[in-house]
């Protein structure tokens, strides 16, 4: 069935529908990963977005019940140059096309993803719509015109857990090397946490408790955490006001020495902590989405190839607290990739140390969290 992808600036591509034969809209971004499409599809950080894969052939190893980062598909839509007509993997439980159809996700193939990526790089991420049921461009333009911007939307409330629970699953076959779990309790403030983050935490710590993003600090402290982690998640960090308020209160308590615990942030969690420290959010032109971003540790000079998925950053110069120092930079565009506070046990990274998909270069960051707790 024929389908159309239309961007808000009028650029459009015609292709073939696969997945749900319907219509969807969202902010269009591109991902440069060569593999890991199932992890990308189920990453809560992609809520509100249509993802274009730059690698030309997608779906060759099918889908399974293991390579997921949440309990559902989170993207609004999916764009590929060519879907594989062959599924070849001993782990496969089905095809990508059936997976998208079963999860009611609209997708389009047979389009020039190079042209789309170039458009987004040149003009920035923008709203888009994929339709297999309405091929009238004027109608689609009208729908896009009334679609709200991703800026200012609280997308976290759509993907975060609504209850408190213990996480018990480790890395299993995903383990690269043995890790001795520290006898600490970690509370994860769930803004759309990836399962790979929870698995890595469980590998490094005795107890991992997940709480909703709007859980008050007094309720968190009842769980007696040794460490608190603000997770990844979708969209504009300034819209996640409950988590920002919790972070501010937590930072005040640490500065007053009323609390003995360490704090860590990943991706959106990094941005939330930056806002709580007085910083300001800035939207990137087309974001960082992929598994090949080189990040330099400014203290050691070491370079890790990292997995990334974000559209916003907190420029270090916007943070008035002079005790906050930059720890990592992105070697593509020199944007900030990490920060730490020199007076309290608090640090965060913009990249994804758990990967999923991507290289495992940065998994040591979870060990840094354990050492931060030891020194708290």
Find the CATH number of the domain harbouring 61. 3.50.30.20
Domain boundary among 114, 145, 176: 145
Q: Tell me, yes or no, whether 151 lies in a domain.
A: no
Residues 130 and 220 in one domain: no
Are both 134 and 160 inside the same structural domain? no
Whether 243 is in a domain gets the answer yes
| Cβ atoms of 44 and 72 closer than 8 Å | no
pLDDT of residue 181: 77
Is 293 a residue of the active site?
A: no
The pLDDT assigned to 177 comes to 73
- Residue 263 lies in domain: 156-374
CATH number at residue 214: 3.40.50.880
Sheet of 165-167, strands arranged across: 165-167, 205-212, 182-190, 227-230, 262-266, 346-349, 336-341, 324-330, 282-297, 303-313
- Last residue within a domain, chosen from 145, 164, 198: 145
Query: Are 93 and 163 in the same domain?
Result: no
Whether residue 357 is preceded by a cis peptide bond, meaning omega within 30 degrees of 0, is yes
Answer whether 271's CB lies under 8 Å from 312's CB: yes
Domain tally for the chain?
2
Contact between 183 and 227 under an 8 Å Cβ cutoff? The reply is no
Looking at the structure, do residues 128 and 181 belong to the same domain, yes or no? Answer: no
Return the pLDDT at 162. 95
Q: What does the alpha-carbon distance between residue 269 and residue 348 come to, in Å, rounded to a whole number?
A: 7
Residue 159: both structure tokens together? 């993907």
What pLDDT does 375 receive?
81
Active-site residue among 310, 328, 341, 352?
352
Active-site entry in 97, 267, 328, 337: 267
Residues 123 and 237 in one domain: no
Same structural domain for residues 64 and 205? no
Q: Which residues are within 8 A (CB) of 332 and not within 5 positions of it... i.e. 6 or more apart? A: 288, 293, 294
Which pLDDT does position 210 carry in this prediction?
Answer: 98
135 and 198 assigned to the same domain: no
- Position 97 scores a pLDDT of 97
Would residue 92 count as lying in a domain? yes
Q: Tell me, yes or no, whether 46 and 113 share the same domain.
A: yes
> What are the phi and psi torsion angles at 12 (to 5°)?
-145, 155
| Same-domain pairing of 72 and 160 | no
Nearest-angstrom CA–CA distance, 95 and 59: 7
Inside any domain, residue 335: yes
**Is 336 a domain residue?**
yes
pLDDT reported for residue 270:
98
Domain boundary residue, one of 110, 145, 180: 145
Residues 163 and 206 in one domain: yes
CA distances from 370 to 113, 270, 364, 376 (A): 42, 17, 10, 10
Q: Are residues 185 and 334 in the same domain?
A: yes
Mean pLDDT per 10-residue segment, the chain (376 residues): 97 97 98 97 98 98 96 98 96 97 98 98 97 97 95 96 95 74 93 97 96 97 98 98 98 96 98 98 97 97 97 97 97 97 98 95 96 89
Q: Is residue 150 part of a domain?
A: no
Examine the residue annotation and report whether 74 is marked as an active-site residue of this protein.
no
Going by C-beta distance under 8 Å and a sequence separation of 6 or more, which residues neighbour residue 167? 188, 198, 201, 202, 208, 209, 210
Pair 244, 270: CB distance under 8 Å: no
Beta-carbon contacts of 33 under 8 Å, excluding residues fewer than 6 positions away, are 40, 53, 55, 290, 291, 292, 307, 357, 358
- Is residue 354 part of the annotated active site? The answer reads yes
On whether residue 105 sits in a domain, the answer given is: yes
- 115 contact partners, CB below 8 Å, separation of at least 6: 13
Residue 159's pLDDT is: 97
226 & 90 share domain: no
86 in any annotated domain = yes
């Amino acid at each position: 069935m024929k389908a159309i992808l239309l961007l808000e600036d009028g650029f459009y591509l015609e292709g073939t529908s696969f997945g749900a034969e319907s219509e969807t809209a969202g902010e269009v971004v591109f991902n440069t990963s060569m593999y890991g499409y199932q992890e990308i599809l189920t990453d809560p950080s992609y809520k509100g977005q249509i993802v274009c894969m730059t690698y030309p052939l997608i779906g060759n190893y099918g889908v399974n019940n293991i390579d997921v980062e949440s309990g559902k598909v989170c993207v609004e839509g999916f764009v590929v140059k060519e879907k594989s007509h062959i599924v070849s993997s001993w782990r496969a439980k089905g095809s990508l096309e059936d997976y998208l159809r079963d999860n009611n996700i609209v997708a389009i193939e047979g389009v020039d993803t190079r042209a789309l990526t170039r458009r987004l790089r040149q003009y920035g991420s923008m709203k888009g719509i994929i339709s297999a049921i309405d091929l009238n461009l004027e109608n689609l333009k009208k729908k896009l015109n009334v679609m709200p911007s991703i800026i200012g939307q609280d997308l976290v409330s759509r993907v975060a857990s609504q209850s408190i629970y213990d996480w018990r699953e480790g890395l299993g076959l995903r383990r690269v090397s043995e890790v001795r779990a520290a006898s600490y309790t970690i509370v994860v403030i769930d803004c759309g946490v990836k399962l790979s983050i929870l698995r890595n935490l469980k590998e490094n710590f005795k107890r991992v408790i997940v709480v909703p993003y709007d859980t008050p600090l007094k309720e968190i402290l009842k769980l007696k955490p040794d460490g608190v982690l603000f997770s990844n998640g979708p969209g504009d960090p300034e819209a996640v006001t409950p988590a920002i308020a919790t972070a501010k209160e937590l930072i005040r308590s640490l500065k007053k020495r009323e609390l003995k615990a360490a704090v860590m942030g990943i991706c959106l969690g990094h941005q939330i902590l930056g806002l709580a420290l007085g910083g300001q959010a800035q939207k990137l032109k087309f974001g960082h989405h992929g598994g090949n971003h080189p990040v330099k540790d400014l203290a050691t000079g070491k370079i890790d190839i990292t997995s990334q998925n974000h559209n916003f950053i907190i420029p270090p110069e916007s943070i008035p607290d002079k005790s906050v120092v930059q720890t990592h930079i992105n070697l593509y565009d020199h944007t900030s990739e990490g920060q730490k506070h020199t007076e309290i046990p608090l640090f965060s990274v913009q990249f994804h140390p758990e990967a999923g998909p991507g290289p495992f270069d940065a998994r040591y960051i979870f060990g840094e969290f354990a050492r931060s707790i030891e020194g708290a």
